[in-house]
């Protein structure tokens, strides 16, 4: 006699609540937006790694980033879990796999009664010299981010964007190049990509970048000669300065030599956004998957069910259904356009 196996709906054990995504049989939340008893944190960006949890489980790098950014708020009990090491929590097994997004970023793999869910957190599929590459995990349920979940978003190869920046540096030796970058991840990746392209001069940092760059160095990511702008004795003509995007065109930049303003972000695909910010040199460099990579990931994980969060949910849900998947949008609170 054939046995009929009744699948537990995923919602019975993994569900959104007021704090975020809750794994019920494991008794923890993933990237909770408010303080909880037990949090599993995918990576150190502030909309994922919030302060005030009692217990935090994450990769050692993410814990170090949280410690640097949040101090005492980084969680009362912190437990590090290495990539690939399974850990039993309550009735589930949790394994962290590289997400390729920033240093320490992890996908949360949860195995429960023969079903496997993968929560990607933010992720990208391209090589990034500052972090471990994305690892594909086949699963039954994929919870994917959708920051750039519209067909218009196709990120350029980063080598091309770096070459454009280097060409501009060569073309305007009397001006400073000021590149707006998100301070955690993008900043260090941009530096590493420039080093790979052979740029070996000092790279100058806005004060807000200094601490995280030092942390990356401590965690083994080589950035070469980086120094704070405050240590410069000139107006840095012909030099490269990295600053938060908010400092572009700001009073802070008056110390620089007629700066060429650049901005490294996936959002630079949208010309209006670049214009709005007065960006002369938009660089399409993103730490998130673009549209084709989201589709590729849905396809390759072979998940029958797709939950979409963190961005353009509707288009990805529509696309996943077209691919024969069950799909729904997860309206999690506290997730906005990432300042990436
Ligand atoms: Zn992120
Ligand atoms: Zn995010």
Domain boundaries, the chain: 10-152+288-329, 158-283
288 CA → ligand 1 middle, Å: 8
Whether 10-152+288-329 and 158-283 share one fold: the answer is no
197 CA → ligand 2 middle, Å: 28
222's tokens: 């080589």
Confidence of residue 338 (pLDDT cuts 50, 70, 90): low
**In contact, 261 and 175? CB cutoff 8 Å:** no
Judged against a pLDDT cut of 70, whether residue 2 lies above it is answered with no
Task: Please name the residue that has the structure tokens 């079903």.
Answer: 115
CATH number of 10-152+288-329: 3.60.15.10
Judged against a pLDDT cut of 90, whether residue 206 lies above it is answered with yes
**In contact, 248 and 208? CB cutoff 8 Å:** no
Q: How many CB atoms lie within 10 A of CB 76?
A: 11
42 CA → ligand 1 middle, Å: 9
287 CA → ligand 2 middle, Å: 10
Kindly give the interhelix angle for 186-196 and 158-171, rounded to the nearest 10 degrees: 70
Cα dihedral angle (124, 291, 270, 264), rounded to 10 degrees? 10
- State percent of the chain over pLDDT 90: 91
102 CA → ligand 1 middle, Å: 7
289 CA → ligand 2 middle, Å: 12
What residues contact 135, with CB distance under 8 A and at least 6 apart? 83, 97, 98, 107
281's tokens: 């040199």
325 CA → ligand 1 middle, Å: 26
Q: How many CB atoms lie within 10 A of CB 222?
A: 11
158 CA → ligand 2 middle, Å: 20
> What is the model's pTM?
0.95
Q: Which CATH number fits domain 158-283: 1.10.357, 3.40.50, 3.20.20, 3.40.228?
A: 3.40.50
Cα dihedral angle (294, 332, 46, 141), rounded to 10 degrees? -40
Q: Tell me the per-residue pLDDT of 93-138, one tens digit each, with 9 for 90 and over.
A: 999 999 999 999 999 999 999 999 999 999 999 999 999 999 999 9
**Closest ligand to residue 45's CA:** 1
Nearest-angstrom CA–CA distance, 329 and 307: 6
How confident is the model over 261-280, as a mean pLDDT? 93
68's tokens: 């640097």
Check residue 5 and give its pLDDT: 52
**Closest ligand to residue 103's CA:** 1
4 CA → ligand 1 middle, Å: 41
Check residue 56 and give its pLDDT: 98
Q: Tell me the per-residue pLDDT of 23-54, one tens digit each, with 9 for 90 and over.
A: 999 999 999 999 999 999 999 999 999 999 99
Nearest-angstrom CA–CA distance, 175 and 173: 6
Judged against a pLDDT cut of 80, whether residue 333 lies above it is answered with no
What residues contact 220, with CB distance under 8 A and at least 6 apart? none
Judged against a pLDDT cut of 60, whether residue 3 lies above it is answered with no
Confidence of residue 331 (pLDDT cuts 50, 70, 90): confident
Nearest to 147 by CA among 316, 322, 298: 316
26 CA → ligand 1 middle, Å: 24
146 CA → ligand 2 middle, Å: 9
Nearest to 104 by CA among 81, 85, 87: 81
Nearest-angstrom CA–CA distance, 58 and 106: 8
Confidence of residue 312 (pLDDT cuts 50, 70, 90): confident
281 CA → ligand 1 middle, Å: 23
Task: Please name the residue that has the structure tokens 């009397």.
Answer: 174
**Closest ligand to residue 184's CA:** 1
Beta strands (DSSP E) in 189-313 are 203-205, 226-228, 240-243, 260-264, 281-283, 305-311
């Amino acid at each position: 006699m054939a046995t009929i196996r009744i699948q537990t709906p995923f919602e019975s054990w993994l569900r959104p609540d007021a704090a975020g995504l809750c794994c019920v049989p494991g008794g923890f939340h993933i990237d909770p937006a408010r303080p909880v008893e037990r949090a599993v944190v995918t990576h150190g960006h502030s909309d994922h790694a919030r302060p005030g949890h009692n217990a935090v489980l994450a990769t050692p790098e993410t814990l170090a980033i949280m410690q640097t950014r949040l101090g005492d708020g980084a969680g009362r009990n912190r437990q590090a879990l290495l990539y690939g090491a399974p850990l039993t929590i309550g009735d589930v097994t949790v394994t962290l796999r590289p997400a390729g997004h920033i240093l320490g970023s992890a996908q949360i793999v949860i195995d429960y009664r023969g079903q496997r869910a993968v929560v990607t957190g933010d992720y990208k599929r391209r090589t990034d010299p500052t972090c471990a590459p994305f690892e594909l995990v086949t699963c039954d349920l994929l919870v994917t981010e959708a920051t750039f979940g519209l067909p218009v978003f196709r990120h350029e190869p980063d080598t091309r964007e770096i070459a454009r920046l280097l060409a501009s540096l060569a073309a305007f030796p009397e001006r400073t190049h000021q590149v707006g970058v998100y301070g955690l991840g993008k900043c260090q990746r941009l530096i590493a990509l420039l080093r790979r392209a052979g740029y070996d001069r000092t790279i100058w940092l806005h004060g807000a970048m200094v601490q995280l760059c030092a942390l990356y160095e401590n965690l083994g990511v080589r950035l070469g000669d980086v120094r704070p702008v405050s240590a410069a004795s000139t107006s840095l003509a012909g030099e490269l300065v990295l600053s938060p995007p908010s400092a572009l065109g700001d009073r802070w930049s008056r110390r620089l030599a007629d700066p060429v303003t650049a901005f490294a972000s996936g959002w630079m695909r949208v010309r209006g956004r670049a214009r709005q910010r007065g960006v002369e040199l938009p660089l399409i460099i993103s730490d998130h998957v673009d549209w084709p990579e989201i589709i590729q990931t849905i396809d390759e994980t072979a998940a029958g069910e797709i939950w979409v969060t963190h961005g353009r949910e509707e288009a990805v849900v529509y696309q996943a259904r077209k691919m024969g998947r069950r799909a729904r949008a997860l309206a999690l609170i506290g997730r906005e356009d990432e300042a990436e």
